[in-house]
């Protein structure tokens, strides 16, 4: 249910005081920033089984007074405990932020910390209508890319199996994973069917990361990689399935039409394109995560956005897809699927 900040006539608010929930919303960045700084400094791993602020400051080469202030705030937020002068991890920080834990999310969360810098340019981006970048952000560093792909891989760890199940693999022998990142989705599809061969298309430095995941999964014979540019390359032909997962939000409507047209060309008759993304309702104000993700794209890309199911359906039909359907998945993303029914040429070929 969406909140609307409306002053109820029967409630008397003290003059000059904001309602609590509005106040908390405006100051929410404080907790977020404190937690992200702790992750950037790797506070939770450095605390290990317990540490005083002074010992931690020496270990992290940080200022002792400031370190104690940060640790006290983390205790107040429920991310640490404090007994006398000893700070300790909680079960949640051991599980999610510590090396060696199966659920360690820190590498991916460092991507969230990177996004912080972009979000701080939001006001300028709204004035300019596009990403204004932050100093030195034109070419992402190797570390930025590693964190980004780690975040994508973490997000996909459970979702990829759900997607493979929802889409099905019957009749699918060749899958193209456009902008396939860590290869998480190709791995899930390859595990779902022995007959399926996947190709992960991505940028050179990401392909190296995908190759590592494919090797570790022992699926080198079933998944190959291709360095390419999804914004302009021809995508090949005779694929039974083209997966476009978390890609369309990086692109403008024109770029999406062009990409989907090339996906159509890459499919064999009766092949399907599967788009996974944040999908907005028609008025674009819900779900909240999708509406906020549009801003993430505003601050991070020249022309990215999040789009509604109606927009996806219109683009797919425009380039020749039929039987367009939507498959709901647990939040925050869902699927839009279109099929290439026959040997027809794509509409509006370039
Ligand atoms: C948001 S990630 C999605 C990764 C994966 N499909 C998933 O759902 O987990 C976007 C991917 O697109 C890739 N990408 C971005 N621009 C690209 C381009 N011009 N050509 C090829 N890949 C690109 C990125 O490297 C990244 O792996």
Taking the centre of ligand 1 as the mean of its atom positions, its distance from the CA of residue 181, in whole angstroms, is 5
Rounded to whole angstroms, what are the CA distances from 150 to 144, 191, 249, 312?
10, 21, 19, 28
Predicted TM-score (pTM) of this structure = 0.92
Q: Is the pLDDT of residue 120 over 70?
A: yes
Average pLDDT for 303-321: 98
70-84, 139-153, 324-338: which range is least confident on average? Answer: 139-153
* Confidence (pLDDT) at 343: 60
Is 156 a pocket residue for ligand 1 (Cβ < 6 Å)? yes
> Rounded to the nearest 10 degrees, what angle do helices 106-119 and 28-41 cross at?
130
| CATH code linked to domain 161-339 | 3.40.50.150
DSSP one-letter code for 275: E
The torsion defined by the Cα of 206, 207, 212 and 215, in degrees rounded to 10, comes to 160
Instruction: Tell me what the pLDDT averaged over the chain comes to.
Output: 94
Q: Is the pLDDT of residue 344 over 90?
A: no
The 10 Å CB-count burial string (b at 16+, else e) for 114-130 is: bbeebbebeeebeeeee
* Confidence (pLDDT) at 82: 98
* Confidence (pLDDT) at 157: 87
Is 275 a pocket residue for ligand 1 (Cβ < 6 Å)? no
Residue 154: pLDDT band (50, 70, 90) is: very high
CATH second-level architecture of 20-99? Orthogonal Bundle (1.10)
Residue 231 alpha carbon, nearest atom of ligand 1:
19
Taking the centre of ligand 1 as the mean of its atom positions, its distance from the CA of residue 203, in whole angstroms, is 8
Q: Is the pLDDT of residue 288 over 80?
A: yes
Nearest CA-CA partner of 202 in 212, 193, 192, 190: 212
Residue 347: pLDDT band (50, 70, 90) is: low
**Helices then strands (H, E): number in the chain?**
14, 11
Residue 184 alpha carbon, nearest atom of ligand 1:
9
Is 203 a pocket residue for ligand 1 (Cβ < 6 Å)? yes
Is 246 a pocket residue for ligand 1 (Cβ < 6 Å)? yes
Residue boundaries of the structural domains of the chain: 20-99, 161-339
Is 259 a pocket residue for ligand 1 (Cβ < 6 Å)? no
Nearest CA-CA partner of 297 in 247, 344, 229, 259: 247
Residue 276 alpha carbon, nearest atom of ligand 1:
8
Is 247 a pocket residue for ligand 1 (Cβ < 6 Å)? yes
Summarised one tens digit per residue, pLDDT across range 29-48 is 999 999 999 999 999 999 99
Residue 197: pLDDT band (50, 70, 90) is: very high
Is 223 a pocket residue for ligand 1 (Cβ < 6 Å)? no
Phi, psi of 80 (to 5 degrees): -140, 165
């Amino acid at each position: 249910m969406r909140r609307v900040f409306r002053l109820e006539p029967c409630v008397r608010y003290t003059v000059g005081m904001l309602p609590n929930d509005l106040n908390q919303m405006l100051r929410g960045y404080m907790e977020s920033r404190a937690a992200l700084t702790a992750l950037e400094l790797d506070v939770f791993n450095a605390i290990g089984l317990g540490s005083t602020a002074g010992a931690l400051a020496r270990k992290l080469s940080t200022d002792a007074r400031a370190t104690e202030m940060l640790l006290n705030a983390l205790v107040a937020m429920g991310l640490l405990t404090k007994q006398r002068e000893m700070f300790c991890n909680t079960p949640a920080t051991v599980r999610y932020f510590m090396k060696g834990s199966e659920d360690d999310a820190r590498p991916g969360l460092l991507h969230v910390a990177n996004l912080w810098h972009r979000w701080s340019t939001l006001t300028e981006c709204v004035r300019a209508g596009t990403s204004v970048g932050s100093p030195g952000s034109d070419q992402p560093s190797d570390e930025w890319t590693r964190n980004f792909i780690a975040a994508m891989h973490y997000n996909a760890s459970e979702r990829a199996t759900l997607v493979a199940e929802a889409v099905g693999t019957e009749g699918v022998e060749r899958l193209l994973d456009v902008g396939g990142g860590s290869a998480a989705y190709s791995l899930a599809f390859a595990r779902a069917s022995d007959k399926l061969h996947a190709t992960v298309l991505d940028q050179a430095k990401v392909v190296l990361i995908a190759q590592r995941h494919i090797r570790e999964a022992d699926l080198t014979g079933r998944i190959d990689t291709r360095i390419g540019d999804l914004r302009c390359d021809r995508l090949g032909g005779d694929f039974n399935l083209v997966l476009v997962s978390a890609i369309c939000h990086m692109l403008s409507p024109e770029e999406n039409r062009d990409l989907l047209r090339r996906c159509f060309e890459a499919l064999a008759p009766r092949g399907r394109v599967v788009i996974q993304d944040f999908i907005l309702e028609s008025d674009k104000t819900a779900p909240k995560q999708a509406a906020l993700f549009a801003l993430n794209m505003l601050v991070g890309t020249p022309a990215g956005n999040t789009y509604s199911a109606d927009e996806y359906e219109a683009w797919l039909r425009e380039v020749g897809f039929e039987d367009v359907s939507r498959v709901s998945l647990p939040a925050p993303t869902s699927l839009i699927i279109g099929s290439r029914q026959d040997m027809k040429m794509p509409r509006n070929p370039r």
